[in-house]
Structure 1
Amino acid sequence: MSTEETTTDLKKKAVRGGAISMAARLSTIMIQICSIVVLSRLLAPDDFGIIAMITAITAFMGLFRDMGLSAASIQKGELSDEHTNALFWLNVAAGGLLTLLTMASAPLIAWFYDRPELQPVTLLLATTFVISSIGAQHSALMQRELRFGPKVAGDVAGALLTLVVSITLALFDQGFWSLAWGTVLGAALTTLMYLKGSKFRPSMPKRTGGIRELLGFGANVTAFELVNYFHRNLDSVLIGRVWGAESLGHYSRAYQMMMLPISSLRAPINAIAFPVLSRLQHNPAEFRTFYCRIASLLAFLSMPLMAFLIINSENVVSIALGKQWIAVAPIFALLGITGFIQPVASLRGLVLLSLGQTRLYLAWGIVNAAVVSVAFLIGVSWGPTGVALAYAIANYLILYPSLVYFFRETPLRPLDFFSSIAIPLTATIVAAIGAFISTQYLVMTASNWIQLGSSAAVFLALFLVAVLLLPGGKKTLKDYYTMLRMIKK
């Protein structure tokens, strides 16, 4: 097969895989929304609180479940069956150890919260560590091979079973047990489908060379996630400590609303970008071309969406949460400023990971955590809005230095980032200004839905016109149309 044919085939797999991942993500979100709506009416707040008490602890322990080995297997240029088998057993060992540690901690958790019922529930939920670890390498291999059909089928099926089991048991007055059993059985089904969908079949463990390199890669990724975990939770800790539960409630709701559209777009695209960039790590020209395309696509999807949400924050919050939550709107708008650039900026991390430069990746994670933490400490004096604004300022201040740092030993340059987002960025600014001005002439007595719909129509029209008028805009739209046709073939 020629290089041109190989690149074309890789592009087709990436486009189809992206479409499948996006569709699966939307399906999962719909299941989550259904879960929130239905279970909130069947279960008491205390039932959710009991599960939240446990997950607050297990979420931290979960950082060590995979040990970065899934990312290592995806990035590795040549991965033998022996390597995969060794990584499988390492994952299982880590998952088994975390299960035992969590089970051993169950009495302590129950004592800490002074809730005896937490002990048996913790014992049950602890099994999810070993269950999920069994399918970790199977999932990673399907992503590595861009075989997203079987992988997302397992994800969606598991989420759906979690919902069905939880609702069924809740109808029989099983309270918090309905959530616990739904989580465990959903994880079990996902793992079973991973095992069925993957071509990998594990054998007995045996000593294999070259594992130390993979473990080093995984250790740096895990350390990055650990650093990231602490600074991502510092804002909530500070707000809760200084301003209390109500302010934290407003901030957490705003943050969740911001992250929903971001994760919905970023997660499926990153799932495609990482294995493709890893395959192209020894082809600098194609590596650069693919990065620019994926950055442009993510910018086209995320920037107009976040800008629209920012200028319509009050209507969005009123519709989504109710008018009693209107205090969330300014926090949501300020967090949206970060969300405007964050999805496409986060691709810089995949660049280093795909090239195997995990030490640089970890080093930047420490610097980033320090900068953002200082911003939180400064901003908390002004409450949740101060924290949100400080977060935005910190992200934009470190953007260019981070690009210089991430791209210095890669085929990319900071200019590649800015040229990739130039068209969607310009068109979004034009559309946002036009939509904001036009909505000022609407009758404010109109319903939130009418105001939001009118703004959406104006925003979309102005965005498309601006793209068509900008140099290179028509060609970009034609390229995306070609990609859509690839999905159907």
Structure 2
Amino acid sequence: MSSVKRSFVSGFLWSLLGQGGYLSINLLTSIALARLLTPYEFGQVGIVMFFITISKVLTESGLSGALIRKKDANEDDFSTVFVFNLLVSVVLMLTLIMSSGFIASFYDDIALQNILIALSFVLVINAFQFTQNAKIVKALKFKKQALYTFCSVCFGSLLGVSLAYWGLGVWSLIIMQLTNAFVLTIIYRIFEGSAGKFVFKIDSFKTVYKFGLNTTIASIINTAFDNIYSLILGKYFAIQQTGLYYQAKKLQEIPVGVIKSSTLGVVFSTLSGLQDDKKKFDGLYSNIVTSFTVLVGFICLIIFLYAEQVVLILYGEKWLGAVFYMKVLVIASYFYMQEMFNRVLFKIFDRTDKILLLEIIKVLIMAVSILVGIREKDIELLLYGFLATSVLSYFINYYHSRTVYNGFSWMEVFLTLKVICIGTAITLIIESIKNFFSLDVYAMLLLFPLVTLLYIIFLRMFKVTNVVKDTKILLTMLKRG
């Protein structure tokens, strides 16, 4: 196996293991907390996390990708980014603190003020771990990243569940978030050294920020509209609905998030090193696209089919309202993941201006669907609008991504649609079996092996991929490497 393939496979496996461990702990924690707390308390945190998430994007400013992509990044570049992140984090923290009273009044819940003030400190804490993490990703040392993250999440989650059990309510969620960030920062400081010197070089900043500017604005828009439903549900419907949506989103993001977090970073880092070797780039990219689409499609299919069972088993009957959210979100996430994969090409070939343009188009489409949903006061219409936006955005992004790489081809579009057709066919088959045999909710779980078998067979029939053959090839490659 070539050194590039070996680095990619090793990085992917460790990143997958790390994210899998991280999200598994999150799942166990969510189960425990969901049974100890109420949808209303999760709704409060869901509203506040909108502002924290947007602030994190502003703090990062796309500079992580710039440092990773820059082949000759030096200590001055890393120190400059550290100083910038720290200053922006402090400014944003103070802004959130000063705005907390207004936000609490807007939602007619005074408790939101103290929640927002407390969580705003996460921004400054994260600033002291940002550059070390960028160095690890740049060097493809995903094993270290996985271990560090796993340790911090374990500690924070254990504390959060303990506090919820002792009756601290919503504050158990807040303290857990702060602890996760603080412990990870300490780990980075011990094993990777300081976050950077207090050195700010104008030339270094101009170099990295040129890359990060467009991605930052695009990320802000994307993050804002991706999380805006928490605000809308809390304001125009009920904070409890925000809680249901927030938990459904977390459940749906656990398996999908594993693939996103473990794959996109590794793909970007690896392919960035091959941007000047078109032959190797094309070969690796083509293989990755097929595997990525097939894997994401299977995960989304399973979540859609077993959303009710998952909610009942993990959270209990009081959370059944989250099932609808999960089903819509997971279909949308399939197209969203394809969109994110296409955007890697914009970053690699330094066309981040395209990302910004496409994000603006996406926002305009989504804004219309949101206004219609609010006007009609219809939650289902609101979510279906989100789904339609995700589908349209994928096709628009795909077309433009091929203008910067290798020209337009329908092959990947057909691949995406084939997987959708396979998922639809399997869903109809499973629903027919369920109705014919009058299977109850839990008996449906017995059909999981059949779902997996049908997926593998249909992939072969539709000439998408030969799972058995490709798995053997992968195992052989790993053995030789």
TM-score (norm. length: structure 1): 0.84
Deviation at 1:142, TM superposition (A): 0.9
In 1, Cα distance between equivalents of 2:145 and 2:189: 10
SS of the equivalent of 1:14 reads: helix
Deviation by residue 1:307-347 (Cα, 9 ceiling, x = unmatched): 24334555455445545655554554344432333322321
Is this contact kept in 1: 2:76–2:204, CA < 8 A?
A: no
In 2, Cα distance between equivalents of 1:231 and 1:216: 24
Letter in 1 for 2:432: I
Work out which of the residue numbers 381, 394, 398 in structure 2 matches 1:399.
394
Work out which of the residue numbers 302, 324, 334 in structure 1 matches 2:296.
302
Is this contact kept in 1: 2:346–2:352, CA < 8 A?
A: yes
Deviation by residue 1:70-126 (Cα, 9 ceiling, x = unmatched): 12111223323322232222223323333444455667777877748955x666544
Q: Which runs of 5+ in 2 are unaligned?
A: none
* Comparing 250-259 and 435-444, the one that deviates more: 250-259
Deviation at 1:66, TM superposition (A): 1.4
Which residue of the partner structure matches residue 412 of structure 2?
A: 417
Deviation at 1:157, TM superposition (A): 1.1
In 2, Cα distance between equivalents of 1:246 and 1:106: 20
In 2, Cα distance between equivalents of 1:249 and 1:172: 21
Letter in 2 for 1:481: K
Query: Structure 1 residues 169, 145: closer, same or farther in 2, change over 3 A?
Result: same
Which residue of the partner structure matches residue 441 of structure 2?
A: 448
* Comparing 432-441 and 137-146, the one that deviates more: 432-441
Deviation at 1:44, TM superposition (A): 7.6
Deviation at 1:201, TM superposition (A): 7.1
Is this contact kept in 1: 2:268–2:344, CA < 8 A?
A: yes
Work out which of the residue numbers 118, 126, 133 in structure 2 matches 1:139.
133
In 2, Cα distance between equivalents of 1:309 and 1:91: 37
Query: Structure 1 residues 404, 423: closer, same or farther in 2, change over 3 A?
Result: closer
Which residue of the partner structure matches residue 73 of structure 2?
A: 79
SS of the equivalent of 2:450 reads: helix
Which residue of the partner structure matches residue 127 of structure 1?
A: 121
Answer yes or no: is 1:352 the counterpart of 2:343.
no
State the Cα RMSD in Å.
Answer: 3.5
> After superposition, where does 1:338-377 map in structure 2 within 5 Å?
338-377=332-371
* Comparing 59-68 and 229-238, the one that deviates more: 229-238
Query: Structure 1 residues 44, 423: closer, same or farther in 2, change over 3 A?
Result: closer
Letter in 1 for 2:205: I
SS of the equivalent of 1:346 reads: helix
Query: Structure 1 residues 10, 398: closer, same or farther in 2, change over 3 A?
Result: same
Deviation by residue 1:160-200 (Cα, 9 ceiling, x = unmatched): 11123334555666665554444333212212333455488
Deviation at 1:305, TM superposition (A): 2.6
Work out which of the residue numbers 223, 226, 230 in structure 2 matches 1:232.
226
Query: Structure 1 residues 396, 202: closer, same or farther in 2, change over 3 A?
Result: closer
> After superposition, where does 1:87-486 map in structure 2 within 5 Å?
87-102=81-96, 115=110, 119=114, 125-169=119-163, 178-198=172-192, 202-207=196-201, 209-239=203-233, 243-244=237-238, 251-323=245-317, 326=320, 328-379=322-373, 381=376, 383-411=378-406, 413-418=408-413, 421=416, 424=419, 427-444=422-439, 447-454=440-447, 456-471=448-463, 473-474=465-466, 477-484=468-475
SS of the equivalent of 1:202 reads: coil
Deviation by residue 1:6-49 (Cα, 9 ceiling, x = unmatched): xx212112112211222222222222233233345666888767
Letter in 1 for 2:444: Q
Which residue of the partner structure matches residue 5 of structure 2?
A: 11
SS of the equivalent of 2:184 reads: helix
In 2, Cα distance between equivalents of 1:137 and 1:24: 19
In 2, Cα distance between equivalents of 1:12 and 1:25: 20
In 1, Cα distance between equivalents of 2:87 and 2:340: 31
SS of the equivalent of 2:298 reads: helix
Letter in 1 for 2:446: G
* Comparing 397-406 and 52-61, the one that deviates more: 52-61
In 1, Cα distance between equivalents of 2:42 and 2:170: 7
In 1, Cα distance between equivalents of 2:137 and 2:188: 11
Aligned-pair identity in percent equals 18
Is this contact kept in 1: 2:14–2:142, CA < 8 A?
A: yes
Is this contact kept in 1: 2:415–2:464, CA < 8 A?
A: no
* Comparing 319-328 and 388-397, the one that deviates more: 319-328
SS of the equivalent of 2:410 reads: helix
Query: Structure 1 residues 100, 473: closer, same or farther in 2, change over 3 A?
Result: closer
In 2, Cα distance between equivalents of 1:370 and 1:379: 15
Deviation at 1:373, TM superposition (A): 1.9
Is this contact kept in 1: 2:77–2:205, CA < 8 A?
A: yes
Is this contact kept in 2: 1:84–1:137, CA < 8 A?
A: yes
Letter in 2 for 1:355: F
Deviation at 1:352, TM superposition (A): 0.5
* Comparing 47-56 and 68-77, the one that deviates more: 47-56
Residue correspondences, number: 478
SS of the equivalent of 1:441 reads: helix
TM-score (norm. length: structure 2): 0.85
Letter in 2 for 1:161: F
In 2, Cα distance between equivalents of 1:325 and 1:175: 17
Is this contact kept in 1: 2:22–2:153, CA < 8 A?
A: yes
In 1, Cα distance between equivalents of 2:315 and 2:334: 22
Letter in 1 for 2:367: S
Is this contact kept in 2: 1:247–1:384, CA < 8 A?
A: no
